[in-house]
Amino acid sequence: MISPYYLQLIILVGINTIMALSLNLIIGYTGQLSIGHAAFMSLGAYCSALLTLHFNLPFIVSLLGGALFAAFFGILIGIPTLKLKGDYLAIATLGFGEIVRIVCLNLEITGGAVGLRGIPKKTTLLWVVLAVLITAFILNRIIKSRIGRALIAIREDETAADAMGINSTYYKILCFGVGAFFAGLGGGLFAHYMRFLHPKSFDFMKSIEQLCMVVLGGLGNMWGSFVGATILTVVPEMLRSVADLRLLIYGAVLILMMRVRPQGILGESPANGGFKNNSYSQWIQTRLKKSLRKRSGSDKT
Amino acid sequence: MFVQQLMNGLILGSTYALIALGYTMVYGIIELINFAHGEIYMFGAFVGLILVTVLKVPFFLAFLLAMAASALLGITIEYLAYRPLRRSSRLAALISAIGASIFLSNLALLIMGSTPYNFPTPFEAKVYETPFFIISRVEILVLLSSLLLMIALTLIVQKTKIGKAMRAVAQDKDTASLMGININKIVTITFAIGSALGGAAGVMVGIYFRTVTPTMGLMPGLKGFVAAVVGGIGNIPGAMLGGILLGIAEVLGAAYISSQYRDAVAFALLILVLLLKPSGLLGKPVQEKV
Amino acid sequence: MIARKKKTTIFTAVFLCLVLLLGVAGCGPKESADTEDGKTVIKIGTVGPLSGTAAAYGTNVLRGIEVAVDEANASGELGDYVLKIVSEDTEGDWSKAANAFQKLVDIDKVNVIIGAVLSSETAAGGDIIKDAKVPTISPSSTAVDLTKGNPYLFRNCLSDEVQAIQLAEYAVKELGLSKFAILYTNNDYGKSLKDAFEAKANELAEVVAVEVFMDGDENFKSQLTSIKEKNPDSLYIAGYYTEAGKIAQQAKELGMNVQLLGADGLCNVVLLQIGGEAVEGAYATSGFYPDDPTPAVQNFVNAYKEKYNEDPDMFAAQAYDATRIVIEAIKSKGPSSEEIREGIAATKDFPGITGKTSIDEEGDTIKDVIILKVENGKFIRAR
């Protein structure tokens, strides 16, 4: 029998993997820098918890309800903001994330500053494993499809993608909607595991943590998201024995990691907006373009 | 009451502007969101505090020394965390900046503890009353210093040789370096100036609000950054304008909408400005290179 | 390319080693024996923010617990038992508090937990300790109904409702105030104080303005200007000392002439340092009065000062009392989790340094409220 503490860690690794996978679609594959991902998680968490609490819906229905609610907001926010590029998009998503947090803190229905208590515990290891597998499967299908190639083309060069006839706005909104959907799913699982919700855990730092998972694991690599989520969930727990130095080490590791291996543990692609004259990133870009060509070629046959 | 609220917004805004100036300076040259700027601000406040209370240094000297120490810290951060990444992706630099921010605030917590320190006020607390509003001496000081720093900064960037080099680097690094500009030197100087401003902001705000804590850089850092973006990041008068606009929006939002949504008003303003004019109020539209 | 691959392999290997090393380091000390110097160890877990913006509260709570544990171990009052603290940081984030609670009950197998500090943290841990049947007493989580329906969760702090009501009565009847303004911090503590005070003050007199601020805010002029417009004769600050000191300062700068009122969150010397003359004459409810001449209080204050070179505040005092309640429970019933639970639940008229304390059937505290006043830069007892 596995101890509940390790079980909890495994479940959190699973939920964080879903978060990292969905963020990876937005940042790693489409190249849109979003630092408000925790907001989608909180929307899904609150919505599914409220569906369970007020309407006593079956777990699967409230999970999907929460995920759809988050996806709706993903699209709603996506439409105006996705015209923005690079850092400006990042800042807009940051602003959106903070607004969601403040609204949750002040509404009656979310329990406001007191938090939402008494959510029934419905998330089990089985649910989480299933959710991770389904998320990974669907995202993988998307990435390997026409849509995925369009997304990668947008990441590599949006202007060129537009010129090639890819409707970049449409694809970017689609990617935001899908990303937000799975973030909402992760939030729903989180709410029904923790049995308690408070806006404090969905702040700017949470979004940053999720961003770190993606970047640490490797942008544009699905396994990387899993590795990143595992490390950033488990290592802080291991470091509990050096309580004082825990966050100090965390900060230092982030800096070191970026020096030694900026593309992440399993990452191979340069991030959006890298300097073009770097030989290494050039090498990767050509490789990617080759594989892009190869993949589109193999589809035709 | 309306005039008083406007005044409140102006003062709050100038504290944001003080922080925004440093952000905008660094972003303008190397296009990096220096997340550690909030911690440099905190560091400046602590250096000022220690100099004034423990070493009994006269206030004005302490102010200058805090600026110098902050500049040194900024250069160190740049050297250790950003310079090695100049050739890698922007996201890597951003994560490194976040790492630096987490590291510094927790280092301060470890050394200084979590209890807030009281910053002794160097001036006699005096309040001036006019028929329309009330303003204290420290507030006038904060307002004037942010204005002065903005003007000084604009002059440095626009009129000096170093400023010219900075603008050249901002425009095109490779060409600038071909023209014989030492990029590393310019980036170091930029960080030094930006961080000195952060330190100055820390001391000023420390005096104004009378407290210094290791976590004081978090929220003001974020707000200062928002202010820089609203005004047009990379644009010095823009940072000032953005800060003041943000302060006024927050104060009026709290007064006439609800104080519950005060921070939400600030972020809503940010999104609104980004949608209407993505490069910020005074920023030049970015021409995409094809 | 080969070199690059090699580099990757080396990096991965180094990384895995690091992870393993940390794992070993993390697991090592946990297996320590349950005896020390021939005495049986009773583990007390603590949960609270030791880093992040709420670190000051968590640190003071931990210090209060440490003073009580050191004292009990030194005095030998527990006979063959010795107390040991296992403290866990939450960064002020409740989801991390849930991990901390789970670790304490499963890995460290603590007998009892003192914590958490913030109400959201305690709420997140409530179900975990209930499932694991580990008694938990929070020294500072004041949110309404927090302990309800959970036989393992207790708390030792003033009820927000009681202190707000008592102060409202005192303000109207003794101080003759009639036009109240409320400025509260937007968290569970501030909100429940505000709700109770607003209801009682409206019943006895009139509340003319209610404004809110966020934890960690520094500029309150906007809210204060709105309040000033309504001409209240008093301002009730439902928040903590750092913000309250700044509020007092800024209210004075705006030329507001109001009687300041507050709750136990104000009772810390930092309020006097930041507020200076502006907090002179303020009244606040409290459970703890550090200048109380009774020996128990003076012993605690001296021991605390000696150890940390700082004056103890309400958080430290309540944590000390919570630990004392646990120690008394061990003495009267026994050291197992179930025995400690019974002991805490049976607490009646316990003579703590924060007043006479009883625990009711819901796990809530019943204790006396005292009212402090700031006079000549010191807290003195007004009632």
Q: What is the pLDDT of residue C283?
A: 94
Q: Mean pLDDT lowest for which of A136-150, B20-34, C303-317?
A: B20-34
Say how many CA atoms lie within 13 Å of A293 toward its Cβ: 5
Q: What's the pTM value of the predicted model, to 2 decimals?
A: 0.89
**Interface check B102 vs C, CB under 8 A:** no
Q: Which of A8, A114, A244 sits opposite C102 (nearest CB)?
A: A8
Please write the tens of the pLDDT for every residue from C171-199: 999 999 999 999 999 888 898 899 999 99
Residue A139 reports pLDDT greater than 80: yes
**Interface check B8 vs C, CB under 8 A:** yes
Say how many CA atoms lie within 13 Å of C367 toward its Cβ: 28
Q: What is the pLDDT of residue B133?
A: 85
Whether the CA torsion C210, C215, C220, C222 is positive or negative: it is negative
Q: What is the pLDDT of residue A291?
A: 55
Say if residue C145 is in the same domain as residue C207. no
The reply to whether C238 falls in a domain is yes
Do the chains contact at C98 and A8, CB–CB below 8 Å?
yes
Q: Which residue has the higher pLDDT, A70 or B290?
A: A70
Out of 1.10.3470, 1.25.40, 1.10.40, 1.20.1250, which CATH number does the structure's domain A4-300 have?
Answer: 1.10.3470
Question: pLDDT band at A301, cuts 50/70/90?
Answer: very low
* Cα gap C64→C44, rounded to integer Å: 13
Please check whether residue B54 is in contact with residue B212, taking contact to mean a CB–CB distance below 8 angstroms.
no
Residue C11 reports pLDDT greater than 60: no
Closest CA–CA distance from residue A239 to any residue of chain C (Å):
6
Residue A8 with chain C: CB contacts under 8 Å = 98-99, 102
Computed on alpha carbons and rounded to an integer, the radius of gyration of chain A in Å comes to 19
Average model confidence (pLDDT) for chain A? 85
Touching subunits for chain B (3+ Cβ pairs under 8 A): A, C
Count H helices and E strands in chain C, helices first: 12, 16
Q: Sketch the domain layout of chain A as residue ranges.
A: 4-300
**Interface check C12 vs A, CB under 8 A:** yes
Please check whether residue A229 is in contact with residue A217, taking contact to mean a CB–CB distance below 8 angstroms.
yes
Structure tokens at B198: 């952060």
Closest CA–CA distance from residue B103 to any residue of chain A (Å):
4
Do the chains contact at A3 and C107, CB–CB below 8 Å?
yes
Please check whether residue B32 is in contact with residue B193, taking contact to mean a CB–CB distance below 8 angstroms.
no
Q: What is the pLDDT of residue B259?
A: 86
Label the pairing between strands C350-352 and C206-213: unpaired
Structure tokens at A27: 């940042």
* Cα gap A246→C364, rounded to integer Å: 34
Please write the tens of the pLDDT for every residue from B170-206: 888 888 888 888 988 999 999 999 999 999 999 988 8
Q: What is the pLDDT of residue A70?
A: 96
If we measure between CA atoms, which residue out of A207, C186, A233, A115 comes closest to residue B222?
A207
**Interface check C269 vs B, CB under 8 A:** no
Please write the tens of the pLDDT for every residue from A44-88: 999 999 999 999 999 999 999 999 999 999 998 888 877 787 788
Average pLDDT of the segment spanning B46-50 = 94
The reply to whether C373 falls in a domain is no
Do the chains contact at B92 and A275, CB–CB below 8 Å?
no
Q: Which of A80, A248, A253 sits opposite B106 (nearest CB)?
A: A248
If we measure between CA atoms, which residue out of A24, A17, A22, A21 comes closest to residue A219?
A24
Residue B260 with chain C: CB contacts under 8 Å = 186, 212
* Residue where a domain stops, chosen among C244, C259, C286: C286
Residue A163 reports pLDDT greater than 50: yes
Please write the tens of the pLDDT for every residue from C26-55: 444 444 457 777 788 999 999 999 988 888
Check residue C310 and give left, alpha or beta (phi > 0: left; psi -120 to 50: alpha): beta
Average model confidence (pLDDT) for chain C? 87
Q: What is the pLDDT of residue B170?
A: 85
Q: What is the pLDDT of residue C2?
A: 45
Q: Which of B118, B215, B259 sits opposite C274 (nearest CB)?
A: B118
Nearest CA in chain A to C27: A238
Q: Which of B89, B107, B233 sits opposite A270 (nearest CB)?
A: B89
Say if residue C95 is in the same domain as residue C58. yes
* Cα gap A6→A15, rounded to integer Å: 14
Structure tokens at C383: 């009632």
Say if residue C105 is in the same domain as residue C179. no
Q: What is the pLDDT of residue C269?
A: 87
Average pLDDT of the segment spanning C227-235 = 92
Cα separations in angstroms, A261 against A111, A215, A286, B89, B97: 43, 10, 20, 11, 15
Dihedral angle of Cα C75, C78, C82, C84, to the nearest 10 degrees: -90
The reply to whether C30 falls in a domain is no
* CB pairs < 8 Å spanning B and C: 97
ipTM given for this complex = 0.87
The reply to whether C70 falls in a domain is yes
Q: What is the pLDDT of residue A293?
A: 61
Whether the CA torsion B63, B68, B72, B75 is positive or negative: it is positive
> In degrees rounded to 5, what are phi and psi of residue C238?
-100, 85
If we measure between CA atoms, which residue out of A90, C262, A160 comes closest to residue B274?
A90
Counting the structural domains of chain C, the total is: 2
Q: Mean pLDDT lowest for which of A47-61, A85-99, A185-199?
A: A85-99
Residue B127 with chain C: CB contacts under 8 Å = 253, 255
* Cα gap A128→A14, rounded to integer Å: 6
Please write the tens of the pLDDT for every residue from A102-125: 999 999 898 888 889 889 999 999
Say if residue C339 is in the same domain as residue C258. no
* Cα gap C129→C147, rounded to integer Å: 12
The string of DSSP letters for A37-67 reads HHHHHHHHHHHHHHHHHHH---HHHHHHHHH
Q: Which of A215, A274, A281 sits opposite B95 (nearest CB)?
A: A215
* Residue where a domain stops, chosen among C286, C310, C344: C286
Do the chains contact at C186 and B260, CB–CB below 8 Å?
yes
Nearest CA in chain B to A77: B271
Closest CA–CA distance from residue B123 to any residue of chain C (Å):
14
Do the chains contact at B136 and C253, CB–CB below 8 Å?
yes
Computed on alpha carbons and rounded to an integer, the radius of gyration of chain B in Å comes to 19
Domain that holds residue C203: 160-286
Count H helices and E strands in chain A, helices first: 12, 2
**Residues, chain A:** 301
* Cα gap C369→C383, rounded to integer Å: 9
For chain B, the straight-line distance linking the first and the last C-alpha, in angstroms and rounded, comes to 53
* Residue where a domain stops, chosen among C235, C251, C286: C286
The reply to whether C305 falls in a domain is yes
Q: Which of C55, C59, C274 sits opposite B211 (nearest CB)?
A: C274
Q: Where are the beta strands (DSSP E) in B86-133?
A: 117-118, 127-129
